[in-house]
Structures are given as structure tokens and as C-alpha cells.
């Protein structure tokens, strides 16, 4: 499918130019050698663009200027200079000169990127021409995609109306303020008169054969995925997903994924060993209880396994009950949490022991979260198609976690299922590497909630 917006590309290129030019100018000003300047430019460009991407700076559908986004931009620029700072402090002749370069380069890049984003915001919401959308159908699918389009203002799309395919959908569109075209014989004429750029097909009809070839056409579920990053769930899409899953299984993918899981798990275990070791010791000294505990979790095909976790709570026998699922089951500020372990939970360091589960082949690095057995029994009753997420191996982190965080209420779990099924449909190794890196960024920032 074509990209809905070229704005991401433009922002990416402009950021590249700013990172490069600012570093070149200031590194030259402070008298660094030609070799050092080239290395600094390379590191700052590569690291900077990667960090900004991981922090969601190029997610145009959610672009906006807020205090939080401004802070995340500054934080990203500071993180960009960590590795160059280490290089300069080790190899540069003057510490004072190095500190001055890092300070002025960080401030310059931040100011220029922030100014560009302010101008881009003005262009996006005040100047850029909106794309006109025509929705074929007036059923529940049409209403859902209409709401999503209107909620994502940064995409600059305007709904020009609905084409009613079935008279039975009259009740759904009665209170809708948008135009509704009934009994259409010449769809091409409507498209030309309304300057339609995109047609979204929510209901199948023979009318689509009359759509001009220069107009983009999307099936509603595909368009929904494209603008939300979630899977649209109904009986038809679930059937199509199951067919795709059973007919497109790849031995090569399975082998690469298992290799990736083993390598990533070993690296994470080794790198985090000091943190987990110190935390485990402090937990043991707190109440002399075992710092590692197991919890029954549900994995692929509904199989139960013992999930290893670093204990961060005082001993308790809490078990969730039907109808009483709430945020208290995983609240960071729960009084059951050992005080010094609050950040450990927030950064998800308590889940590092799950690398053992990964090495044993019970879960993957990336996949739908392996939930507590007691919660799964509740979700299966309250959330339609919940069991579909267990078609693939569950994961330590996943697409749902980096977009939504950890949640337990039935309403949030329904949305989480959409993220999980989106991953199931589109999974590939490169994307899974990105998900892991993004999860690490969120964890280090204490935002992987």
C-alpha cells in the first residue's frame, strides 16, 4: 500500500541535515581533526535519528506539539550525545573543549529541531491540503473507520461522505452529520464532484469497478491497520487471519526467530546481571524470602508454564476474581510493592528472569504477553476472540506493550488484543528487532508501564 503521508520522510531528512550541519560547524569551530569530525557526524546522525525514531518523533498520525513531546525531543538529543561524549572524553585533548562542544551542539540541535517542528505543526494543521475520503458502506465498519479518521487530525483527512449500500443500515447513519449518498448509480461522478482522493471500502459492492484508477482504494480493515497500528476484529477478519496463519507458516522464519530469541536472551541476561543480582540480594535481605518466584502463565496453544520473575512484592496470596479486574492487580504504587523495587517494576527489570523461559523455548523475546493463568480464564469469557492471540508463541515484550503498556481491565484488553493480532498478521524478524529496541528505550526511561 502507498504511504498515507510523505511528511515522515521530509521530517526525517530535515532532522538529518540539522544533526549533520550543527555537528560539522561546532566540531570544526572547536578545532577537532578531520577524522574526529567525520566520526562525530556519523555517530550523532545514526544515533540521533535512531533515538528520535524510537521516541515516536516520526509517527505522523499522532504528531502534535506538547510539553511532553518537547521534553522527549530534548531527552533524545541528550541521549544522542552520550556515545560521542565518551569518545571525546577518552581521545580528545581538552575536557573543557569537549564539554563546551557537547553543550552548544546539544542546545543548537534542540532549538533547530524544535523550531522546525513548530513550523511543521503550522504547515500540517493550517496549510497542508486535506485528502478527501469517501467510505463505501454505512454499516458498523464504516462508522468505526469514520471515527478513527476524524480522531487523527494530523493525517489531514476529511470524510466527504458515505455511500449507503444496504437500506438496512439506515439506523446507523441517521444521526451522522456527514453526507450520505443513497441509491448511487454513478459513483464515478460523485468521486469527481467531491474531488475524492481515497476510497475506503467498508462493504463490498459492484460499484467499486467504476472507481477511477487514479483514486487510491483500501479495504476497511487494511486502512484501519494503516492509521492505527491495530487489527480490526470481527468474524470475517479473524477467519482471514487464521487462513493466513495456517497457510503462510515459514520454517525459515521460525528458525531465524528461535536464533534471535537465544542470542537476545543471552545478551540481556549478561548485560543486566549486576542489576538483577543486586536487586535479588536486597529483596532477600528485606524479608529473607526467595527473590525468584514462579507464576503459572499461559503460552502458545493455551499451554501452562512456570514463568520466572524477580520478586518485588512482600509475600501475598492475591488472586483476581471475576468481575473485579482493575489496575490494582499491577499498580506500581501498590502497598504490596517493596519500596526500593518500584523503579524495578516500572522499568520491567523484574521480568529479566524470563530470559530463562526464552532459552527453554517456552516464550519468545517478542510476542503477545504471556498472561497470568487466572487472568486468562477471565479474559476468555469477557473478550471475544481472546484465544486467537495464543496461535503464536507468547513474548517477553511485544507490539501491544510498547504501544499501550501493561493493562488488565477488559476494555483495555480488547484494544491490547487488536495490537497482538496486528503483530500476528505482520510479524517479521526486522520488525521484532525494532520492537525489542523500543522496549529497551522505554524501560531505560522508566516508561515501559
| pLDDT of 386 above 90 | yes
User: What is the band of 241 on the pLDDT scale with cuts at 50, 70, 90?
Assistant: very high
Q: Is residue 82 part of a domain?
A: yes
- Whether residue 121 sits in one domain with residue 208: no
Q: Is residue 88 part of a domain?
A: yes
* Mean per-residue pLDDT, 281-289: 80
* Mean per-residue pLDDT, 61-79: 82
Cell numbers standing for residue 173: 447513519
- How far apart CA 1 and CA 94 sit, in angstroms, is 52
Residues in CB range of 365: below 8 A, 6 or more apart: 260, 261, 264, 265, 358, 395, 396, 397, 432, 436
Q: Is residue 256 part of a domain?
A: yes
- Whether residue 136 sits in one domain with residue 98: no
| pLDDT of 345 above 90 | no
Question: Using CA of residue 422, residue 426, residue 429, residue 433, what is the dihedral sign?
Answer: negative
Predicted pLDDT at 293:
85
- Whether residue 401 sits in one domain with residue 303: yes
Predicted pLDDT at 279:
85
User: What is the band of 186 on the pLDDT scale with cuts at 50, 70, 90?
Assistant: confident
| Range from 83-97, 127-141, 167-181, 388-402 carrying the lowest mean pLDDT | 167-181
Under a CB-based contact definition with an 8 Å cutoff, are residues 46 and 63 in contact? no
Number of domains in the chain: 3
Residues in CB range of 235: below 8 A, 6 or more apart: none
Element (H, E) at 438: helix 429-444
Q: Is residue 194 part of a domain?
A: yes
Q: Is residue 235 part of a domain?
A: no
Cell numbers standing for residue 441: 528505550
Collapse the DSSP code of 57 into the 3-class scheme (helix H, G, I; strand E, B; otherwise coil) and give the result. Answer: coil
Q: What is the mean pLDDT of the chain?
A: 85
Whole-model pTM?
0.82
Closest CA to 409 of 312, 333, 326: 326
Question: Using CA of residue 232, residue 238, residue 244, residue 245, what is the dihedral sign?
Answer: positive
Q: Give the domain-ending residue among 127, 145, 177.
A: 127
Q: What percentage of residues in the chain have a pLDDT greater than 90?
A: 42
- Whether residue 253 sits in one domain with residue 385: yes
Q: What is the CATH number of the domain that holds 182?
A: 3.40.50.170
| Range from 142-146, 173-177, 258-262, 369-373 carrying the lowest mean pLDDT | 173-177
- Whether residue 108 sits in one domain with residue 80: yes
* Mean per-residue pLDDT, 329-343: 64
Angle between helices 235-247 and 410-426 (to 10 degrees): 40
| pLDDT of 324 above 80 | no
Read off the DSSP letter of residue 124.
Answer: I
- Whether residue 266 sits in one domain with residue 306: yes
- Whether residue 333 sits in one domain with residue 396: yes
**What is the widest separation between alpha-carbon atoms in the chain?**
79
Predicted pLDDT at 275:
85
Q: Is residue 335 part of a domain?
A: yes
Phi then psi for residue 273, to 5 deg, are -55, -45
Under a CB-based contact definition with an 8 Å cutoff, are residues 404 and 448 in contact? no
Residue with cell 496463519: 245
Predicted pLDDT at 133:
94
Instruction: Please state, in angstroms and as integers, the Cα–Cα distance from residue 242 to each residue in 233, 236, 420, 424, following that order.
Output: 12, 10, 14, 10
- Whether residue 137 sits in one domain with residue 107: no
User: What is the band of 318 on the pLDDT scale with cuts at 50, 70, 90?
Assistant: very low
User: What is the band of 93 on the pLDDT scale with cuts at 50, 70, 90?
Assistant: low
Q: Give the domain-ending residue among 97, 127, 157.
A: 127
- Whether residue 176 sits in one domain with residue 264: no
Q: Give the domain-ending residue among 103, 127, 151.
A: 127
- Whether residue 185 sits in one domain with residue 54: no
User: What is the band of 246 on the pLDDT scale with cuts at 50, 70, 90?
Assistant: confident
Domain membership of residue 113 as a residue range: 7-127
Q: Is residue 241 part of a domain?
A: no
Strand pairing report for 292-298 and 304-310 = antiparallel
pLDDT per position as a tens digit, 408-445? 566 788 999 999 999 999 999 999 999 998 888 777 66
| pLDDT of 154 above 90 | no
- Whether residue 435 sits in one domain with residue 288: yes
Q: Is residue 225 part of a domain?
A: no
- How far apart CA 83 and CA 423 sit, in angstroms, is 32
Predicted pLDDT at 335:
64
- Whether residue 314 sits in one domain with residue 260: yes
Amino acid at each position: 500500500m502507498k504511504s498515507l503521508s510523505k511528511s515522515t520522510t521530509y521530517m526525517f531528512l530535515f532532522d538529518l541535515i540539522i544533526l549533520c550541519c550543527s555537528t560539522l560547524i561546532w566540531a570544526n569551530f572547536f578545532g577537532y581533526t578531520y577524522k574526529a569530525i567525520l566520526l562525530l557526524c556519523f555517530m550523532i546522525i545514526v544515533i540521533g535519528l535512531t533515538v528520535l525514531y524510537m521516541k515516536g518523533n516520526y509517527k505522523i498520525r499522532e504528531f502534535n506539539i506538547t510539553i511532553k513531546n518537547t521534553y522527549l525531543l530534548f531527552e533524545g538529543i541528550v541521549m544522542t550525545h552520550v556515545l560521542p561524549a565518551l569518545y571525546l572524553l577518552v581521545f580528545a585533548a581538552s575536557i573543557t573543549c569537549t564539554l563546551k562542544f557537547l553543550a552548544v551542539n546539544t542546545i543548537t540541535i534542540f532549538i533547530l529541531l524544535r523550531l522546525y517542528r513548530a513550523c511543521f505543526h503550522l504547515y500540517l494543521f493550517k496549510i497542508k491540503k486535506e485528502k478527501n475520503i469517501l467510505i463505501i458502506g454505512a454499516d458498523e465498519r464504516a462508522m468505526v473507520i469514520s471515527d478513527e479518521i476524524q480522531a487523527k487530525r494530523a493525517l489531514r483527512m476529511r470524510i466527504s461522505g458515505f455511500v449507503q449500500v444496504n437500506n438496512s443500515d439506515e439506523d446507523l447513519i441517521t444521526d451522522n452529520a456527514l453526507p450520505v449518498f443513497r441509491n448511487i448509480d454513478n459513483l464515478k461522478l460523485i468521486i469527481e464532484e467531491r474531488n475524492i482522493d481515497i476510497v475506503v471500502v467498508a462493504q463490498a459492492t459492484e460499484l467499486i469497478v467504476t472507481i477511477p484508477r487514479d483514486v487510491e482504494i483500501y479495504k476497511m480493515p487494511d486502512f484501519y491497520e494503516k492509521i492505527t497500528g491495530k487489527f480490526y476484529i470481527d468474524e470475517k477478519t479473524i477467519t482471514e487471519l487464521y487462513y493466513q496463519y495456517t497457510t503462510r507458516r515459514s520454517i525459515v522464519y521460525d528458525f531465524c526467530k528461535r536464533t534471535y530469541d537465544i542470542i537476545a536472551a543471552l545478551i540481556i541476561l549478561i548485560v543486566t546481571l549486576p542489576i538483577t543480582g543486586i536487586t535479588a540480594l536486597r529483596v532477600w535481605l528485606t524479608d529473607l524470602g526467595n527473590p525468584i518466584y514462579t507464576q503459572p502463565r499461559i503460552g502458545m496453544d493455551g499451554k501452562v508454564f512456570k514463568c520466572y520473575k524477580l520478586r518485588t512484592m512482600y509475600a501475598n496470596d492475591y488472586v483476581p476474581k471475576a468481575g473485579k479486574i482493575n489496575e490494582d492487580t499491577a499498580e506500581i504504587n501498590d502497598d504490596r510493592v517493596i519500596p526500593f523495587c518500584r523503579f524495578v517494576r516500572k522499568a520491567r527489570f523484574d521480568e529479566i528472569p524470563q530470559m530463562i523461559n526464552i532459552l527453554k523455548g517456552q516464550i519468545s523475546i517478542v510476542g503477545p504477553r504471556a498472561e497470568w493463568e487466572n487472568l486468562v480464564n477471565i479474559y476468555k469469557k469477557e473478550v471475544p476472540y481472546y484465544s486467537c492471540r495464543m496461535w503464536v508463541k507468547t513474548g517477553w515484550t511485544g507490539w501491544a506493550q510498547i504501544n499501550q503498556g501493561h493493562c488488565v481491565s477488559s476494555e483495555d484488553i480488547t484494544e491490547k488484543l487488536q495490537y497482538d493480532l496486528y503483530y500476528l498478521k505482520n510479524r517479521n524478524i526486522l520488525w521484532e528487532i525494532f520492537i525489542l529496541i523500543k522496549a529497551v528505550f522505554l524501560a531505560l526511561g522508566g516508561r515501559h508501564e
